[in-house]
Chains A and B, each alone.
Chain A
Amino acid sequence: MNNELREHIIKLFESDTRLDGRKLTDYRPVKVDVDVTPNAEGSARVKIGDTEVIVGVKVEVMQPYPDSPDEGSIMVGAELLPLSNPNFEPGPPGIQAVELARIVDRGIRESKCLDFKKLCIKEGEKIWMIIIDICTINDAGNLPDASALAAIAALKNMKFPECKGDVIDYKKKTSKGLGLTDTPLSVTVIKIGDKFIVDPDSDEEKAIDARLTVASLSDGTLCAMQKGGDVPLSAEDIAKMVDIGLEKGKELRKLVK
């Protein structure tokens, strides 16, 4: 890791600007498209600058977990596809992919915007499992926010397939969706030196001291958090980062219908 790049980035921050000319709390242009891949029950593509992620939602009928016989659930998987970054190799998900999936999972599950009891088909026997798969198409920085945004957009857009007894007819979609009661949004706030930014590009990601992913509901309640990076954060830092996360969350939420 070249310290020169980090020093240079910090110097730019002092002029309130970044490598690509953005302000510290500016996102690159964000684009959300839904229903982008017809074989999924729900899907979305999110572009943040050049970063691009596709999320598809599939449903399966399964047996419930023994400790929650009247509840369905969600499962989030993430694949850092080798086509999206020269440093990604084919193979099972490494720790970066696992953390990404778990952060997105936490943001949705803990928001309680999806009532798992509504996913029960027959108590103790059959429940709906909602499987969210994140696939990266181009990694130009900030995969966590792009993934979380695509995941919630795909969930909102999802329609259950027709189910006759035990057999699911995936080719026929009903008009019934998940009925989410809120739109949880994730924003990752980055600390480099003593300044905070959002939406790091690939160069800025190499210079991160610490990061805090903040998931929030539309009324400003926090529903999930994750700290990353090697440098510790003070309580003051966290308060500032949470504020930025809430403000940016409000802006991003407008892009999800």
Chain B
Amino acid sequence: MSEISVKDKDIAVPGEVLAVGMDSFPGIGTYREGENIIAALLGLVQLDGRTIKLIPLSGRYIPKKYDTIICTVIDVSFSGWRLETNSPYSAMLSMKEATSQFIARGADLTKFYNIGDHISCKIVNVTSQKLVDVTMKGMGLFKLKGGRIINVASNKVPRIVGKQGSMVSMIKDATKCSITVGQNGLVWINGTPEGELLAVNAIRKIEEESHLSGLTDRIKEFLEKNKSTIKN
């Protein structure tokens, strides 16, 4: 019978023994060595039946197929654009994937997206060498004008979005801001100065407290308390 020495929501450190015994299974963030299941990163324990998982508390974003991300244009060639993705790997947006409009060969591509522009796009392919292709064709993918962009830890994104977008919707309603959350940890916020500031502070609070229980209620309370700063 396995002896599990951690509970759900405990924090584990690399090298720490999480369980002893052959009938526990090493999930993500852990590994087996002999009888022991050992932590392979700094993470939050999640017990899933007999599987022990560790959810990372930090870490740079690594591009994944189908992710929606926010990028910045860093280069324009005659066949497309190269994008900064807030990861070690840049992405390519080809002419074909940029828009359903017809673009003539030799056209000035900077008229569509220029260096420094921010866009939300979707990853269509990632090779083993981490070459990334993206597309702008799809719902909710557009050039981001105005507003501001903040950088959050990419592994906090699921908490910022919430189940079926419930958390981010709550923030949008309370602050009256447009908000687009990229899986790569970039968040675009556009609204009144007070609304944006409240949204930024709420998101930072989620980042700091995402591993503690009762998060949704605390964010709700935080937004209620500070809503009065928003002029309508």
Q: Which residues from A are CB-within-8-Å of B146?
A: 4, 7-8
B148 touches A8 (CB 8 A): yes
Assess A3 versus B116: contact at CB under 8 Å? Given A8-B147, A8-B148, A19-B148.
yes
Q: In whole angstroms, what is the CA distance A15 to B197 when docked?
A: 13
Residues of B within 8 A of A19 (CB): 148, 197
Report the separation of the CA atoms of residues A3 and B72 in the bound assembly, to the nearest whole angstrom: 13
Minimum CB–CB distance from A201 to chain B (whole Å) comes to 12
Instruction: Confirm or deny: B21 has a beta carbon within 8 angstroms of a beta carbon on chain A.
Output: no
- For chain B residues 102-147, which have a beta carbon within 8 Å of chain A? 116-118, 145-147
**How far apart are A2's CB and chain B's nearest CB, in angstroms?**
4
**Do residues B193 and A15 form an inter-chain contact, with CB atoms below 8 A?**
yes
A246 to chain B, nearest CB (A): 29
Taken together as a complex, chains A and B put the C-alpha atoms of A20 and B200 apart, in Å, by 9
Give Cα distance in the complex from A7 to B148, angstroms.
10
Q: Tell me the bound Cα distance from A230 to B148 in angstroms.
A: 24
Check A4 against B197 for contact (C-beta < 8 Å): no
A17→B116 contact, CB < 8 A: no
- B148 and A2 within 8 A (CB): no
Partner of A5, one of B148, B194, B197, B200: B148
B193 and A12 within 8 A (CB): yes
Contacts of B118 in A (CB 8 A): 2, 4
Contact A1 B116 (CB under 8 A): yes
CB distance from A140 to the nearest CB of B (A): 13
How many chain-A residues does the 8 Å CB contact rule pick out? Answer: 15
Task: Give chain B's interface secondary structure class.
Answer: mixed
Render A5-21 as a binary contact track against B, CB cut-off 8 A, 1 for contact.
10110011001010111
Interface residues of A in 1-58 (CB under 8 A from B): 1-5, 7-8, 11-12, 15, 17, 19-21
Q: Closest Cβ of chain A: how far from B180's Cβ, in Å?
A: 14
Per the 8 Å Cβ criterion, residues 162-202 of B in contact with A are 193-194, 197, 200
Chain B residues, Cβ within 8 Å of A7 = 146
- Chain B residues with CB under 8 Å of A20's CB are 197, 200
State the Cβ distance, B190 to closest chain A Cβ, in Å: 9
Question: Which residues of chain A from 196 to 211 have a CB within 8 Å of any chain B CB?
Answer: 203
Q: B151 → chain A, closest Cβ, in Å?
A: 10
> Which residue of chain B has its CB nearest to the CB of A9?
B148
* Closest A residue by C-beta to B229: A21
> Within the complex, what minimum Cβ distance (angstroms) separates B228 from chain A?
14
A232 vs B68: C-alpha distance in the bound complex, in angstroms?
A: 42
- Residues of B contacting A11 with CB < 8 Å? 193
Bound Cα distance A19, B204 (Å): 14
Note all chain B residues with C-beta closer than 8 A to A4: 116, 118, 145-146
Tell me, rounded to whole Å, the shortest Cβ–Cβ distance linking A49 to chain B. 14
Q: Which residues of A contact B193 (CB under 8 A)?
A: 11-12, 15, 17
Q: Which residue of B lies closest to A12 (CB)?
A: B193
- Which single member of B145, B147, B148, B197 contacts A21 (CB below 8 Å)? B197
Nearest-CB distance from B184 to chain A (Å)? 16
Contacts of B200 in A (CB 8 A): 20
CB distance from B115 to the nearest CB of A (A): 9
Q: Mask for A200-238, Cβ within 8 A of B = 1, else 0?
A: 000100000000000000000000000000000000000
With A and B bound together, what is the CA distance between A41 and B190 in angstroms? Answer: 50
Chain A residues closer than 8 Å to B72, beta-carbon distance: 2
| Least distance between A139 CB and chain B CB atoms (Å) | 15
What are 22 A-B contacts defined by CB distance under 8 Å? A1-B116, A2-B72, A2-B116, A2-B117, A2-B118, A3-B116, A4-B116, A4-B118, A5-B148, A7-B146, A8-B148, A12-B193, A15-B193, A17-B193, A17-B194, A17-B197, A19-B148, A19-B197, A20-B197, A20-B200, A21-B197, A203-B148
* New contact pairs (17) apart from A2-B72, A2-B116, CB-CB < 8 Å: A1-B116, A2-B117, A2-B118, A3-B116, A4-B116, A4-B118, A4-B145, A5-B148, A7-B146, A8-B147, A11-B193, A15-B193, A17-B197, A19-B148, A20-B200, A21-B197, A203-B148
Nearest first, the 3 closest Cβ-Cβ pairs linking A and B are A2-B116, A21-B197, A15-B193
Residues of B within 8 A of A (CB): 72, 116-118, 145-148, 193-194, 197, 200
